[in-house]
């Protein structure tokens, strides 16, 4: 990029606060007291993000008499659940293409279960009066290169063959730019009903309050230190106490699982985002976006972007950073070189917004697995269940994962637990330095493919054959 353009991008970041926009809210609820002493319960849920919150809530909905305790190491919603882009998608497979490549025989069922799951989220938001800016405006996959538009046509045709194209609309260049105007847009594929936009932190806080209203006992600033069998149940030690539980559900996601054999299935990848100041009426008119769908471009190294309730633009993605050793470290939550890159890309996409400034810049770790969608399982003779590996698509699919964990803990055979997706596991990641080298080579190869008309090199083709490729 030219020095002048780079300087303008840097200037747009000069006032950006290095905190997640969503969490800097005066309505943020206060922290609940930490657990002290010994507690007993029927179900212990570990983790106060979406995964844990949905599990606790649905457990009480299924059986109001069940004694449920939830422990969170910091505060509810402080991590990925409170800082993500707010794309609440029906997809359980990280996109139609990924699902078609991995579970083609059960994709119609997975799509139906995902749609029902999103409907259930919308119903819960209404039932518990969660003020989380829920807007079911859909999402447009945007082509920024001609070959990407061809690929979107192929996705549409594949969906139509399976009877799954209802609610999908192909947009040519003019139709796409009539929705959201950028000189970089060649067209798009709009899923009108399968994605909702939410304020992610407010959704987490709404779930917290709904849990409390149903009688879930929540302890914040209470990390779970270890997990052991105890009599006919399980016990978890915390800094100031201990909890004995008949059953345990783990929703720790990117953080090291209390079931150690699960840890090799995920790695932490750092994702970053910017938030603009509110757009003026003139700036809004320059880009359109009246129907307010979420957007994501179709490159391998993609951007996701959406408009907020107060007419800011969130712009994130592109860089996915893995650090050698796979540790989750707070110093990785900010990366100025990525912020600058994102700002440059933003003004390439929306040159008519030159002069707009960013108010917030932040990042954080998400858990990813080799199949790019969640996996599930049990441990300790079925007394412990886990779900992990959501790979950035957990806003919606964590509710489905909560249902799966509760089914597994109950020992029930259900439509969910009989799915191949639920019964199978991804390939684990190899030890270092192989993991670091492999992830680095994959990222380099994906960037090369973006620059070469989508053509995948030998490394990516090999990963595809091994089931390690990603088809969005």
Residue 252 lies in a domain: yes
- The answer on 80 and 105 residing in a single domain is no
Domains held by the chain: number = 3
Q: Collapsing DSSP states into helix, strand and coil, what is residue 104?
A: helix
- The answer on 217 and 77 residing in a single domain is yes
Gyration radius from the chain CA atoms? 22
Residue 61 lies in a domain: yes
pLDDT of residue 1: 53
- Phi-psi label, residue 453: left if phi above 0, alpha if psi -120 to 50, beta otherwise: left
pLDDT of residue 375: 97
**Range 67-71 average pLDDT:** 98
Q: Pseudo-torsion of CA 432, 434, 437, 440, nearest 10°?
A: -80
pLDDT of residue 462: 85
- The answer on 222 and 143 residing in a single domain is no
Domain interval for residue 460: 434-465
- The answer on 249 and 114 residing in a single domain is no
pLDDT tens profile 397-452: 999 999 999 999 999 999 999 999 999 999 999 999 999 998 899 889 988 988 88
**Range 365-384 average pLDDT:** 95
- The answer on 440 and 362 residing in a single domain is no
Phi, psi (rounded to 5 degrees) for 7: -65, -40
pLDDT tens profile 24-50: 999 999 999 999 999 999 999 999 999
Cβ neighbours, 10 Å, residue 267: 22
The domain that holds 411 is classified in CATH as: 3.50.50.60
Cis omega (within 30 of 0) for bond into 384: no
Query: Distances in Å between the alpha carbon of 351 and those of 66, 85, 181, 244, 347?
Result: 55, 22, 10, 58, 5
Kindly tell me the burial class for residue 206, based on how many C-beta atoms sit within 10 Å of its own C-beta (0-12, 13-18, 19 or more): buried
CA dist 202 and 128 (Å) reads 13
The pTM assigned to this predicted structure is: 0.96
- The answer on 181 and 103 residing in a single domain is yes
The domain that holds 156 is classified in CATH as: 3.30.9.10
**Range 358-374 average pLDDT:** 95
Structure tokens at 301: 């190294």
**Range 236-263 average pLDDT:** 96
Residue 129 lies in a domain: yes
pLDDT tens profile 122-166: 999 999 999 999 999 999 999 999 999 999 999 999 999 999 999
Residue 47 lies in a domain: yes
- Mean pLDDT for the chain overall: 95
Residue 463 — pLDDT band, cuts 50, 70, 90? confident
- The answer on 227 and 249 residing in a single domain is yes
Residue 275 lies in a domain: yes
Residue 30 lies in a domain: no
Q: Are 25 and 200 in contact (CB under 8 A)?
A: no
Residue 379 lies in a domain: yes
Kindly tell me the burial class for residue 271, based on how many C-beta atoms sit within 10 Å of its own C-beta (0-12, 13-18, 19 or more): buried
| Lowest-confidence pick of 42-46, 51-55, 465-469 | 465-469
Neighbouring residues of 444: CB distance < 8 A, sequence distance ≥ 6? none
Query: Distances in Å between the alpha carbon of 43 and those of 40, 68, 398, 411?
Result: 9, 5, 18, 14
Residue 470 lies in a domain: no
pLDDT of residue 467: 74
**In the predicted structure, residue 376 carries a pLDDT above the cut 90:** yes
DSSP string, 326-347: ----GGGG--HHHHHHHHHHHH
**In the predicted structure, residue 461 carries a pLDDT above the cut 90:** no
Q: Kindly state the greatest CA–CA separation across the chain.
A: 68
CA dist 426 and 432 (Å) reads 18
Which of 345, 368, 391 is the endpoint of a domain?
A: 368
Structure tokens at 147: 């070959």
> Sign (positive/negative) of CA torsion 115, 375, 156, 144?
positive
**In the predicted structure, residue 466 carries a pLDDT above the cut 80:** no
- The answer on 235 and 100 residing in a single domain is no
């Amino acid at each position: 990029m030219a020095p002048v353009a780079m300087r303008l991008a840097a200037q747009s970041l000069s006032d950006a606060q290095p905190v997640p926009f969503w969490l800097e809210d005066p309505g943020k609820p206060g922290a609940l007291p930490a657990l002290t002493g010994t507690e007993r319960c029927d179900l212990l849920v570990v983790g106060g993000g979406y995964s844990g919150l949905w599990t606790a809530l649905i457990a009480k909905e299924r059986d109001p008499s069940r004694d449920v305790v939830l422990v969170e190491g910091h505060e509810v919603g402080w991590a990925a659940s409170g800082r993500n882009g707010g794309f609440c998608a029906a997809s359980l497979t990280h996109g139609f293409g990924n699902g078609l490549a991995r579970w083609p025989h059960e994709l119609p069922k997975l799509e139906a279960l995902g749609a029902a799951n999103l409907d259930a989220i919308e119903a819960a938001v209404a039932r518990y009066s969660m003020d989380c800016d829920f807007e079911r405006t859909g999402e447009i996959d945007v082509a920024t290169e001609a070959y990407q538009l061809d690929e979107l046509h192929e996705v549409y045709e594949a969906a139509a063959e399976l009877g799954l194209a209802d609610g999908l609309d192909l947009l040519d260049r003019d139709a796409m730019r009539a929705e959201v105007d950028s000189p970089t847009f060649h067209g798009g594929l709009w899923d009108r009903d399968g994605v909702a936009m939410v304020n992610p932190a407010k959704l987490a806080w709404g779930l917290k309050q709904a849990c409390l209203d149903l009688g879930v006992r929540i302890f914040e600033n209470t990390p779970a230190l270890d997990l052991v069998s105890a009599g006919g149940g399980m016990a978890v030690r915390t800094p100031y106490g201990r909890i004995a539980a008949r059953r345990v559900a783990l929703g720790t996601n990117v953080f090291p699982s209390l079931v150690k054999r699960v840890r090799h299935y995920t790695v932490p990848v750092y994702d970053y985002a910017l938030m603009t100041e509110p757009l003026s009426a003139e700036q809004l008119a320059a880009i359109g976006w009246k129907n307010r769908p979420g957007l994501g471009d179709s490159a391998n190294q993609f951007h996701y972007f959406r408009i907020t309730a107060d007419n800011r633009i969130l712009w994130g993605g592109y860089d996915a950073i893995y650090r050698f050793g796979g540790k989750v470290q707070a110093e990785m939550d900010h990366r100025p070189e990525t912020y600058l890159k994102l700002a440059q890309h933003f003004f390439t996409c929306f040159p008519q917004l030159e002069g707009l400034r960013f108010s917030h810049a932040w990042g954080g770790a998400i858990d990813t697995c080799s199949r790019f969608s969640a996996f599930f399982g049990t441990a300790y003779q079925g007394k412990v269940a886990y779900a992990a590996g959501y790979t950035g698509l957990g806003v919606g699919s964590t509710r489905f994962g909560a249902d799966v964990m509760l089914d597994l803990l109950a020992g029930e055979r259900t439509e969910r637990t009989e799915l191949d997706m639920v019964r199978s596991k991804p390939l684990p990641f190899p030890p270092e330095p192989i993991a670091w080298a492999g992830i680095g080579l994959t990222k380099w190869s994906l960037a090369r493919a973006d620059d070469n008309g989508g053509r995948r090199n030998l490394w990516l083709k090999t990963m595809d054959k091994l089931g390690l490729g990603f088809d969005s």
